[in-house]
Structures are given as C-alpha cells and as structure tokens.
Structure 1
Amino acid sequence: MARPSATTGPPPDSAVGTTVPATPAQARDAARAFLSTLAPRPTRESAENVVLVVSELVTNALRHAGGATALDFAADRSTLHISVRDPSPVPPRERPPDLRGYEGGFGWPLVHRLSRSVAVLPCGDGGKSVCVALPR
C-alpha cells in the first residue's frame, strides 16, 4: 500500500494530515476535516466509508491497544489512505460478533470489507500501525 512515511514522503498529487485523537468522535471529526480539504472531493459513499473505518480503527485502538498514538491521512488521485498507530504490538484479530450487542466483533470485518487493502505493520517504538486504503 502506498502511504506516507518518514523516508519516502507522501504519494505524488496527495494531501496529508495527522492528528492524535483521544476519542472516536475526535477521529471522525479529523477525518471529515481532512476530506473537506481534498479537491476533487471524494464521493459521498467514499467519505462515509472513511469516517466509519476511522471510527472503527480508533475505537479498536482505545479498547484493545492502549489508545491511538497517531491518526494519519493521505490521499492521491484514486485512493484514500488511513493509518492508526497504537502502543501495542498485538495485531487485531477477528472474533465472533456478539449478536446481543455487548462485546462487538463487527468492526474488524467491516474494515476489511470496506477497504481495498489492510496491513498491520510493526512500529519502531514497539507498537503497531494499522494501515488501510479505500477508494476515493
């Protein structure tokens, strides 16, 4: 997945944004703010998918990995890139959905379904980065 990094920089013809959300609501707001800077704007469906995926990834980082340490956005002509970093080295795992609605289990499969690609990469600080690419 093409994504920004300290060594390669953002993909050509891209926009980049970074934040550290304390809540899923802050992450959704950051996603909407980033999307509003893009020209041309993503389709409504793509924008809604980005907000949903960001919310799921940050919620998972908060619930299971000790919090989100960074939320990065990048966009090129065809793809929207999202990366959520957290301090845990443990990769996300799919688990059976709780149909009673108490324990979740729906988010990780949803992220996979909406995304073109999903990668979990180790970070130098001992944590990980969950990187996804969605159609613009």
Structure 2
Amino acid sequence: MNDTKIPDTATAPAEAVVRGDSTESIHRARKAARIFTDHLSPAPDPALAETLVLVVSELVTNALRHGGGRYTLRFSAGPRTLTAAVSDPDPALPRARTPDLDGATGGFGWHMVRRLTEALTVTPGPGAGKTICAQLAR
C-alpha cells in the first residue's frame, strides 16, 4: 500500500495522511513528518520537528508490529500544537514493556513516545481498531 498525500505548497497544511502496511512505509511516514513540518508557517523549531519524526517512527512501527500490520497516519497542526494520529486495526491498548537492555526485543518505543509528547490519547476506532493521538507543544 502506498497512499501518501502531502501538500507541496508553502502554506500551512490543514492535514496530511499516510497509509502503510510494510516496513518500507516507516521511511515514508518519517519523510511525510519532515515534509509536513517543513511546510508549516511559522515553521516549528527544528528540534521539535525531529521529535515529531521520532514519535511518528515509533508509533507506525508499533502499529505494524503489534497493531495488525497496517496503519493510517494523520498529521495536523494548530497554533500551539503538532499532532500525529496513528490508527490501526487492533483494538488492544498499547502496553509498556520492560525495555530489553541487550537490544534483542525492544520495549523502548512506548516509553519514549509517552515521555516526548505533551498529550497522548488512545481511542476506539475506526472500526474495530484504535487511534493513538500524540500531541506536541509548538
């Protein structure tokens, strides 16, 4: 699946959407986050833009690994916030795991996302799945 819609204008995009169902789509999601922040006016601080990229990378990776193997990612921005919302088909709530310090099985992503975001919500839907909405202060 390769369904990426990113505006190519210099004005602030109201919303951008990326869909993925493979590990290759993680790169597209990160690229979409960079393009999204690059087209915001005023542009967010570069460190904030990179934080959004990291949060997006973790959320879509988790959706692929633990959320049913596909996702829809939506970006939006307000005067004081940047938001990434990732929907997947699995209704199970994310759970924090004890990180594997030997590097074999991960467990760092959800902890990182919780620490990097201003607000983090998990809501049912669409359909039988869930949507994780991560908000960062601008």
Q: TM-score range by the shorter chain?
A: 0.7 to 0.9
Query: What is the deviation of 1:80?
Result: 0.2
Gaps of 5+ in 2: 1-11
CA displacement 1:45-87 (0-9 Å, x = unmatched): 1001000000000000011111233100000111001100000
User: 1:4: which partner in 2?
Assistant: none
Q: CA deviation at 1:135?
A: 1.5
Q: Which has the higher contact order (CA 8 A, sep 6+)?
A: 1
User: Would you say the 8 A contact 1:118–1:130 is kept in 2?
Assistant: yes
2:18 matches 1:19: yes
Structure 1: any 5+ residue segments left out of the alignment?
1-12
Looking at structure 2, the residues matched to 111 and 122 of structure 1 have their Cα atoms a distance apart, in angstroms, of: 19
In the alignment of these two chains, the number of paired residues is 124
Which residue matches 2:121? 119
The amino acid that maps onto 2:103 is G
> For residues 32 and 70 of structure 1, what CA distance do their matches in structure 2 show?
17
Q: Runs (4+) of structure 1 moved beyond 4 Å?
A: none
SS at 2:20's partner residue? coil
Q: Is the 8 A contact 2:120 2:133 kept in 1?
A: yes
Q: 1:26 to 1:124 in 2, by over 3 A?
A: closer
Identity %: 48
The CA RMSD over aligned residues, in Å, is 1.4
